[in-house]
Amino acid sequence: MSRDRAALGAFLRSRRDRLTPSRAGIEAFPGARRVPGLRREELAVLAGLSPDYYSRLEQGRQANISDEVLDALARALRLDEVEHAHLRDLAAPTAQHRAATPHAPQRPDPGLLRLMQTLEHVPVLLLGHRGEVLARNALLPEVLGRPLEPGSSFVRFMFQDPVARERIVNWAEFASATVATMRREIARRPYDNRLVALMEELRASDDDVARWWDDHGVRDYASVTKRVEHPVAGLMSFNIVIVCAPHDPDQRLIVYTAEPDSATAHVLPILISWNTEVCP
C-alpha cells in the first residue's frame, strides 16, 4: 500500500471511530460492537456506498476515488471544511502529489518581507511550509528567547528546545495545533521527504507529538492566542494574525498582535528599546 493511501485509510478510520450511530442519526446495526464509533457497513450506508467499496477505500485498495464519493464521505463523517480538504488531498492521485512537491529552497516573498519591515512594533515571523524560518524581525527573539535565525526550524524549536515550553504558557494548545498543521502539510505533499522525516523524528522522540499525531487531527494555519511568560517583562498575551501572499500560499507571515492599552501593548516598546540598546 502506498504511503498516501495508507494515510487515507487511517484518516477514514479515525473519523469513523469518533462518530457514534446516535450522533450520525441512524440506528445501530444489530450484533456485538468491536469499534468505538461507526462500523464500516454503517458508514457505507450513510455515504450511499457498498460495504465492499468502502472497505477497499479504508484498506487502500481503491486507486481512483471520485469527488462525488469524497463529498458523500465528508457529509457522512461530518467533516469540517479543513478535514474535507484534507480528505481530498489524501485521495489525490499519486502523480498529482509528486508534481506538487517543491524541490528548490523557499525564498522569502518580497511583499511579505516589506510588510514585516513595517511591523517592527510587534513580533513577526515568516514561515515556509515545513515550518522553517524564512525571516523574522528583531523583536521576535526578544519575546521567545531564542535567535530563530532564517533557516532554522520553528517546529524543532517548539518541541526540542526547553525554552519553548518554559516561555509559552499555553504550550500544549499551541504545540498540538502545530502537529495538526504539519499533518495537513504532509497531506498536501506526501513526497516531501524532508517534511516527512522531520515529523517521523519528532514522533519517535516526543510522546506528545506521537499522541497528537495518532489523533489524526488536522488544521490549517489558524489564529491561536499565545501567552508568553517573559523572564523580565512578565506575562504577555498575543493574538496571532496570519497573512499569506496570494501568489505564494506556501509562505505565511505570523504577526503577534496585542490588544490596545493592554499590559502587553505597554511593555512591547520597552522590549524594543532594550533590543535597540544592544544593537551596534
Percent of the chain with pLDDT over 90: 75
pLDDT tens for each residue of 134-144: 999 999 999 99
Mean per-residue pLDDT of the chain: 90
In the predicted model, is pLDDT for residue 279 greater than 70?
Answer: no
Predicted TM-score (pTM) of the model is: 0.88
pLDDT score of 103? 61
In the predicted model, is pLDDT for residue 280 greater than 50?
Answer: no
pLDDT tens for each residue of 155-193: 999 999 999 999 999 999 999 999 999 999 999 888 899
pLDDT score of 127? 96
Confidence at 36, pLDDT banded by 50, 70, 90: confident
pLDDT tens for each residue of 188-245: 888 899 999 999 999 999 999 999 999 999 988 766 789 999 999 999 999 999 998 8
- Residue 127, beta-bridge partner list: 133, 252
In the predicted model, is pLDDT for residue 249 greater than 90?
Answer: no
Q: Which residue has the higher pLDDT, 13 or 98?
A: 13
pLDDT score of 278? 43
Distances (CA, A) of 248 to 72, 116, 132, 151, 175: 31, 16, 15, 18, 25
**Phi/psi zone of residue 168: left (φ > 0), alpha (ψ -120 to 50 degrees), beta?**
beta
Q: What is the mean pLDDT of the segment spanning 22-34?
A: 87
Confidence at 28, pLDDT banded by 50, 70, 90: confident
In the predicted model, is pLDDT for residue 90 greater than 90?
Answer: yes
